[in-house]
């Protein structure tokens, strides 16, 4: 539409020029009386009137042509702006599409990360207590044993067994037993150091891997845990205690041998009255593994 109007500007200039010629002739007859008739003033102007009319007509036509040229430039600029706006709109639409695709990709990545985390928990975490399961705690023990062989900074394992746990299930039900296991697991995680690994070994037994500490330090922290359980655990009837078996790794000892010595110490804790800590100090692979001679109960004076 604007292009059509610009194309008619010269014709409009001619029409205005013709109208000016007629109006000037009318003024000459009616106001100035330079001619006797309107036809004479229109068709036979004198030299002064002709010159003035021609100058005005030329100016009008020049203005029309100049306006057409400027209008064309303005329309071209507007068209370029419109094209740029359309291009920008296209970029915005593309950015919006890319942003939506990026958001969807982020959601998929987060979903996959959550699924992988759930799979990791299923593979390594005990679903009841939230502790490491047996498979994972064995892997951690193997890795800790290799580290200890290189650094020589000490490594211990502690086996924990809930005393008379079967009676808790029999008297108060399995839900009470589950709550007891969960609470013991929470106390284990809270009591031991951040670098220690706590796992559910099976049933009512737990395993704690204790890296980077001496035997005396391991004995004290383990005994303090036993006393804490006796002090803080209060079932509906009676009291709840734990039996503990501790063993410190020997040079070139395997994880299997270390666990056997800790299990021997735990067995002696239960056989001698429960609610106590035994330490197995027999050598790895010795015949003493089948007898209690290399184990002793915890004694603050010795530690």
CATH architecture for the domain at 134-297: 2-Layer Sandwich (3.30)
**What's the pLDDT score for residue 299?**
80
pLDDT in tens, 90-105: 788 888 888 888 888 8
Residues classed as catalytic:
204
Directed axis angle between helix 165-172 and helix 174-191, to 10°?
140
- 8 pLDDT tier (thresholds 50, 70, 90): low
Q: Where are the alpha helices (DSSP H) in 125-210?
A: 134-151, 165-172, 174-191
**What's the pLDDT score for residue 284?**
63
Say whether 262 sits in a helix, a strand or coil: helix
Among residues 269, 179, 187, 193, which one has the least CA distance to residue 232? 187
% of the chain beyond a pLDDT of 70? 84
Look up residue 277 and give its two tokens. Answer: 């800590």
Alpha-carbon distance 33 to 218, whole Å?
Answer: 131
- 82 pLDDT tier (thresholds 50, 70, 90): confident
**What's the pLDDT score for residue 29?**
67
Among residues 186, 85, 202, which one has the least CA distance to residue 137? 202
- The CA angle 215-180-217, to the nearest 5 degrees, is 10
Query: Which residues, 6+ apart, have CB-to-CB distance to 40 below 8 Å?
Result: none
Residue 300 has pLDDT above 80, yes or no: no
Least confident of 14-23, 171-180, 208-217: 14-23
pTM comes to 0.63
Alpha-carbon distance 113 to 157, whole Å?
Answer: 33
**What's the pLDDT score for residue 31?**
66
Alpha-carbon distance 219 to 57, whole Å?
Answer: 117
**Cα-based distances in Å from 247 to 28, 48, 157, 301:** 131, 130, 6, 18
- For the segment 202-225, the average pLDDT, to the nearest whole number, is 96
**What's the pLDDT score for residue 16?**
72
- 290 pLDDT tier (thresholds 50, 70, 90): low
Query: Which residues, 6+ apart, have CB-to-CB distance to 204 below 8 Å?
Result: 161, 162, 165, 181
Q: What is the mean pLDDT of the chain?
A: 84
Residue predicted with more confidence, 185 or 302: 185
Least confident of 46-55, 114-123, 229-238, 292-301: 46-55
- 214 pLDDT tier (thresholds 50, 70, 90): very high
Residue 134 has pLDDT above 60, yes or no: yes
Say whether 281 sits in a helix, a strand or coil: coil
Residue predicted with more confidence, 100 or 21: 100
pLDDT in tens, 236-252: 667 899 999 999 999 98
């Amino acid at each position: 539409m604007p292009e059509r109007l610009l194309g008619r500007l010269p014709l409009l200039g001619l029409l205005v020029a013709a109208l000016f010629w007629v109006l000037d002739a009318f003024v000459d007859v009616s106001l100035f009386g330079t001619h006797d008739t309107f036809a004479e003033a229109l068709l036979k102007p004198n030299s002064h009137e002709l010159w003035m009319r021609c100058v005005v007509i030329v100016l009008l036509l020049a203005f029309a042509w100049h306006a057409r040229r400027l209008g064309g430039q303005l329309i071209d600029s507007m068209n370029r702006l419109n094209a740029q706006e359309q291009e920008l709109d296209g970029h915005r639409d593309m950015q919006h599409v890319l942003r939506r695709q990026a958001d969807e990709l982020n959601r998929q990545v987060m979903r996959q990360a959550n699924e992988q985390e759930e799979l990791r928990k299923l593979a390594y975490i005990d679903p009841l207590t939230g502790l490491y399961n047996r498979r994972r705690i064995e892997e951690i023990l193997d890795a800790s044993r290799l580290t200890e062989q290189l650094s020589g900074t000490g490594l211990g394992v502690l086996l924990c067994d809930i005393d008379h746990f079967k009676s808790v299930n029999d008297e108060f039900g399995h839900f009470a037993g589950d709550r007891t296991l969960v609470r013991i697991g929470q106390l284990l995680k809270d009591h031991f150091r951040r670098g220690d690994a706590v796992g559910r070994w099976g049933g009512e037994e737990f395993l704690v891997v204790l890296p980077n500490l001496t035997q005396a330090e391991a004995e004290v922290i383990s005994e303090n845990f036993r006393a804490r359980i006796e002090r803080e655990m209060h079932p509906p009837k009676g009291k709840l205690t734990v039996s503990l078996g501790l063993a410190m790794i020997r040079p070139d000892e395997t994880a299997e041998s270390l666990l056997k010595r800790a299990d021997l110490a735990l067995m002696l804790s239960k056989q001698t009255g429960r609610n106590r800590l035994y330490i197995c100090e027999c050598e790895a692979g010795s015949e003493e593994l089948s007898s209690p001679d290399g184990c002793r109960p915890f004694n603050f004076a010795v530690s």
